[in-house]
Amino acid sequence: MAMNYYIGIGGTGARVAESLLHLCAAGYGPNRLKLFIIDPDEGNGNLSRTKELIARYQTARRHLQDQAAPGFPLFATEISTPDPLVWSIFEHGNTRLADYINYANLKSADRPLHDLAGLLFTQAELREQLDEGFRGHPSIGAVVMAEPDEDADPWRSFWTDVEKAQKPGDVRVFLAGSIFGGTGAAGVPTFGAPEMIKFHPRAKIDDATSKVQLGACLVLPYFTFDTAGATGPEAQRLFVTAADFPIATKAALQFYNEKDLAYDQLYLVGDSLAQSVGDFSPGSAKQENRPHYVELAAALAAEDFLLQPEGENPSGRYYIAGRRGKEVGWQSLPLTHDAEQVTARRDLLKRRLVAMATFAYAFLEFGYPLLDTPPGDVDYAWHEDHFYPKKGVFRRDESRDPRQPEQKAVLTAVKEYSERFLAWAAALDEGADGPVALLNRSRLLNGGDTVDHEQELAAIGTFLRESSKELDFNHFKNLLDQPTTLSDRLSPAGKYAGLFYEAARRFAEENYAVTPTPGRAGATADR
């Protein structure tokens, strides 16, 4: 079985990882995935959000999926991460480019090299502290990324896995980063150089064959941000703004056209809608942007690459996918370069995301709060049958109660992940007049809280921006009484979350007509 790696580069790479995690949580992903991030700005708000999400995903999966029946979609992908998760490039803080290349000492030690550095970099670039990234200057990033420490994680684990591989293409590596910023624009071409990964001595079998199949997504400009908050000294610092994106992109694309890089497959994803993703920040914790559907499209590019049948070689053809008009709907999302699989993949993606959104909403609104009610006071047949069954004439079996502290902790992890999934899905929507017509956030969230299911019974059946049967929350509750196919090995917490997911899947199929389509879709198995 091929080993899959995702390497996110910079803030955009971290945001694409966020979308990729949510796809995997919904059951649209490979069976196994290893993941790490490259970013000198470890305090970046986008990166912090992704790191937290990975931790919650792994906690929830560890207690649910390992005991579930094969093919159960919830948290289906086993995601592994090294320690540390992030290659921050620099060993010490407050590092400047001048420090990294030992610029001051070069004047006496190697004057020609000192003068060359002075020609290649401005004094502002040499003096700029790099702890918050490369600020839209990939020439800086390319210098410091060219020599990763292979004896320290995450690279040590990566190269150990590559060395264990035996056959051509046994390790699939997918990188994602922006083409218009600093870190991603530096990293994607740097690691695309043949000697960096594809034909590194530890990866190549011979001069023409490698253990690594290498793919990447170049994320083109797709957003704007408000720069009004960048005032005073902050406004004078070295950084790139949305106004700089076009010229940076043009130069980068010319470079990719002329440079002989080692990527087997290269995806370019962007959009001209230029939606705002929040206030400007050049780096640190303030740089936290709202999720965007282009990041979902980039994550789907990663899935297309990672879900290819083993042994399939890159086709060497060009493919293009675009939306018809301004609206971005389910039919617009690029799913695969395999024309025969487009319909099956689209149906599977929609089915999994709608089921996951239904599950997250129902669990947050009803499932998790119900745990605050003593088991003897819960008057639902499904609850009594599975979690508070009779034991003799006058007793109950309390060993199945998901309210036990260790079981409740697992369900708390599921609840916390569900909150983040729902917030991500809702953030893709900009209202009825917005361009993205996937989910209707007003039917899922009211501010930061879920829509009250008792006051809005129909909300669960009307959160897609398309027609539905408009079944209500009472119908969802009835589905909890249906026979289950869940594994008997599940813990009480696993059984509890599993019942809610099965009911959510059935509800989505009935209400939104997202039913399985025959054919090989490539993602984790259907149920």
Q: Give the integer Cα–Cα distance in Å for 153 and 249.
A: 32
283 pLDDT band, cuts 50/70/90, is: very low
Q: Per residue in 378-395, pLDDT tens? A: 999 999 999 998 776 567
pLDDT exceeds 50 at position 300? yes
Residue 121 in tokens: 């970099």
The pLDDT value given to residue 114: 84
For the chain, residues classed under CATH 3.40.50 are 3-90+135-318
Query: How many other CB atoms sit within 10 Å of the CB of residue 346?
Result: 19
Q: Per residue in 502-511, pLDDT tens? A: 999 999 999 9
Q: Is the pTM of this model over 0.75?
A: yes
**Could you tell me if 8 and 35 are in contact, meaning their C-beta atoms sit under 8 angstroms apart?**
yes
Q: Give the integer Cα–Cα distance in Å for 41 and 187.
A: 14
**Spatial CA neighbour of 44 closest among 68, 12, 77:** 12
Indicate the Cα dihedral angle 339, 341, 347, 348, nearest 10°: -140
The pLDDT value given to residue 323: 75
pLDDT exceeds 50 at position 296? yes
The pLDDT value given to residue 527: 45
Selected residue with higher pLDDT from 526 and 371: 371
pLDDT exceeds 80 at position 220? yes
Sign of CA dihedral 10, 11, 16, 21: positive
- Which distant-in-sequence residues (6+ apart) come within 8 Å of 123 by Cβ? none
Least confident of 69-73, 87-91, 220-224: 69-73
Residue 270 in tokens: 């962007």
- Which distant-in-sequence residues (6+ apart) come within 8 Å of 310 by Cβ? 1, 2, 169
The pLDDT value given to residue 31: 94
Q: Per residue in 473-482, pLDDT tens? A: 999 999 999 9
pLDDT exceeds 80 at position 275? no
The pLDDT value given to residue 120: 78
Buried b (16+ CB within 10 A) or exposed e, 317-333: eeeebebeeeebebebb
Q: How far is CA 237 from the centre of its chain?
A: 30
Residue 10: its H or E element:
helix 10-25
> CA dist 167 to 30, 71, 156, 395, Å?
19, 27, 20, 59
Query: How many other CB atoms sit within 10 Å of the CB of residue 174?
Result: 27
**Spatial CA neighbour of 174 closest among 352, 16, 342, 335:** 16
- Domain 3-90+135-318: give its CATH architecture: 3-Layer(aba) Sandwich (3.40)
**Could you tell me if 480 and 380 are in contact, meaning their C-beta atoms sit under 8 angstroms apart?**
yes
Q: Per residue in 436-486, pLDDT tens? A: 899 999 999 998 899 999 999 999 999 999 999 999 999 999 999 999 888
Query: Could you give the percent of the chain with pLDDT greater than 90?
Result: 56
238 pLDDT band, cuts 50/70/90, is: very low
The pLDDT value given to residue 498: 93
pLDDT exceeds 80 at position 33? yes
405 pLDDT band, cuts 50/70/90, is: very high
The pLDDT value given to residue 66: 62
State whether residue 223 is helix, strand or coil.
Answer: strand
Tell me the pLDDT of the chain averaged across its residues. Answer: 86
Q: Give the integer Cα–Cα distance in Å for 217 and 145.
A: 18
